[in-house]
Structure 1
Amino acid sequence: MQTMRLTVLLAATITTGMMAGLFYAYSISVMPALRGADAAVLVEVMQRINRAITNGWFFLCFAGALVFSAAATVLYAIDGPAEVLLPTAIGLVLYAGQLVLTAGLHIPLNNALEAAGSADPAAARRAFEPRWVRWNHARTLLCTGSFVSLCGALAQV
């Protein structure tokens, strides 16, 4: 049982860390690079990114981080050291918060950008960029907090 708990916690930590890194990359490189681009370029690039990112590898980490974190929390709640349970549960809650933000804000903004096409890129950009960027920083922090908490749990094993 101990090996299974540790394996699941490690998988949760790795997948959460990968998601935190992805969101961080948008915050420090992708969106700052696009900030200086023409509106039509930003719209086209983000539409292409949003299409390309919907793949199995992304989904493995995006959903896997939640599944592995939930499984680790349950496994440590059933039969594990209490000092590992709390940071694991905190990691789960923070990651779930990131998912709520992504589902409630980022996905709708991405879908609206896709639907806007290229008819009025300046208007599409105004409706998309400020909110998407601001809240991407928030989900980066949530995801990074989750990763740090899960690392803390691993340190207690």
Structure 2
Amino acid sequence: MSGLVPDLVAVVALLTNGLVAGLFFAFVVAVSPGLRRVDDVAFTGAFRAINAAILRPAFLVVFVAAPATAVLLAVLHVVDGSSASAWAVGAAAASVATFVVTVARNVPLNEALARASVSGPTSASAARRAFESPWARWNTVRTLTGVCAVLGLAAAAVAAA
């Protein structure tokens, strides 16, 4: 499968999925470990600020484009009968899984943290206990699915070449 449109879709899928996986990986290796070192009030304040700051058009466009372009690329490969179809379909499934985990697991935790009372150290501690471990666990899951999406897209590109 070759041509301007399929090649452009492949590039955009790889780029957007790479950005999403990289963002989530940054939380695994730097943001979450860094925030683990601060007190509960600082943690809840910082995570609330991060959650509010990320809801920008640049992130939202990339976040939605990642699974959309991965699925479109998989469809193009399957319709073409490409030898890269299996890789593209697997990558699309992983990208969609990344999106679903974020929307179904991480976002509700973010929203619960935003609604939580953190008027003092005791309430901030309770909010953190309810948030930190499950959020980190689901972030690790979506990081792994995001990396699988990127690897699958790269393998599809190689197989299609």
Same fold per superposition (TM over 0.5)? yes
How far residue 99 of structure 1 moved from its aligned partner, in angstroms, is: 1.6
Q: Which amino acid aligns with 1:2?
A: G
Q: Which amino acid aligns with 1:24?
A: F
How far residue 118 of structure 1 moved from its aligned partner, in angstroms, is: 2.0
Pairing 1:19-38 to 2, within 5 Å after superposition: 19-38=20-39
Which of 134, 148, 151 is equivalent to 1:145?
148
Q: Which amino acid aligns with 2:157?
A: L
How far residue 154 of structure 1 moved from its aligned partner, in angstroms, is: 1.0
Question: Deviations 1:25-80 (Å, cap 9, x if unpaired)?
Answer: 00000000000100011100110111110011101210000111111111122225
How far residue 130 of structure 1 moved from its aligned partner, in angstroms, is: 0.6
Paired residues of 1:12 and 1:65 also in contact (CA < 8 A): yes
**Residue 126 of structure 2: aligned partner:** 123
Q: How many residues align?
A: 156
Consecutive aligned runs of 4 or more in structure 1 exceeding 6 Å deviation: none
**Residue 154 of structure 1: aligned partner:** 157
Q: Which amino acid aligns with 1:68?
A: T
Give yes or no for the alignment of 1:3 onto 2:4.
yes
Relative to the length of structure 1, the TM-score reads: 0.95
Give yes or no for the alignment of 1:91 onto 2:91.
yes
Which of 131, 136, 140 is equivalent to 2:139?
136
Paired residues of 1:10 and 1:154 also in contact (CA < 8 A): no
- Once structures 1 and 2 are overlaid, which stretch shifts more, 94-103 or 35-44? 94-103
Q: Take 1:11 and 1:51, find their aligned partners in 2: how far apart are those partners?
A: 26
**Residue 72 of structure 1: aligned partner:** 73
| Secondary structure at 1:24 match in 2 | helix
Q: Which runs of 5+ in 1 are unaligned?
A: none
Q: Take 2:71 and 2:141, find their aligned partners in 1: how far apart are those partners?
A: 22
**Residue 47 of structure 1: aligned partner:** 48
CA RMSD for the aligned pairs?
A: 1.2
Question: Deviations 1:57-114 (Å, cap 9, x if unpaired)?
Answer: 1012100001111111111222252x22111110110111112211111000000000
1:91/1:152 CA distance change after superposition, 3 Å: same
Relative to the length of structure 2, the TM-score reads: 0.93
